[in-house]
Each structure stands twice: as C-alpha cells, then as structure tokens.
Amino acid sequence: MVSAGGSASGPTVIKARKAPRMTYKQEIQTIQNLPQIQRFIVVMKIAGVFLVAIGIEGIVTGTWWMALLFIPLGVVVSMMPIKIRTDRCIACRELINPGTSICPSCGAPQM
C-alpha cells in the first residue's frame, strides 16, 4: 500500500523550463535586428494575411472579383519559404552555431 506522501522509489516528474514571453518592445527590437531579407519575409507574411482578409471581405460583400484575386494571392504570399540561415541570433546579435534553435545567451527562438 502506498502512503499519501508517495514512495521514494516512484517515478520522478521532470518539468520543462517555461521560457518567459517577449514583451512588445522586445518583439519590435527583434524585428529591427533581423537581416533585411528576413525583415522582408516577415512583412510578406503579414501582407498575405491581409490579402486573404480582403478576399474574404469580397465574399461577404458579394464582390467576387476581389475574392478571386486576393485569396489566391494571399495564399501564395503566405506560403513563401521562410528559412534563411544566418550565423547570428536575431534578438541579441550574438554568434551562434548553425542549426541552433535557441540562442544560448538570451534564450530567443530562431526562425
């Protein structure tokens, strides 16, 4: 019979370290630190969402040419590849090894 306090030989629970969320200013600084091509890709992803929203507005209002034009355009823009390899962290500009997904100095995730 196991007591309410648990047993010494039972399985140990490992909790994952929860990374703190970035503030608005940190996110803006991270975008400003991006290389120019990555900054362009972020802008294009946001533009793709807006283009799809304009197309959905065309469906709602019955303006079918807007739907037929903007929804495929928004999907194509949003599906552009986003992987560009750099040797620097996008948040703190520290050198990192290729393939590193989290910066060892600041803990920021890499794209």
Give the model confidence (pLDDT) of 37-83 as tens digits: 777 877 888 899 999 999 999 999 988 998 999 999 998 888 877 66
What are the extents of the domains in the chain?
Answer: 24-78
Among residues 83, 76, 88, which one has the least CA distance to residue 38?
83
Q: What is the DSSP letter of 102?
A: B
**Angle ∠(49,54,57) on CA atoms, nearest 5:** 125
Q: How far apart are CA 19 and CA 1, in angstroms?
A: 39
Tell me the pLDDT band of 7, cut-offs 50, 70 and 90: low
pTM given for the model: 0.49
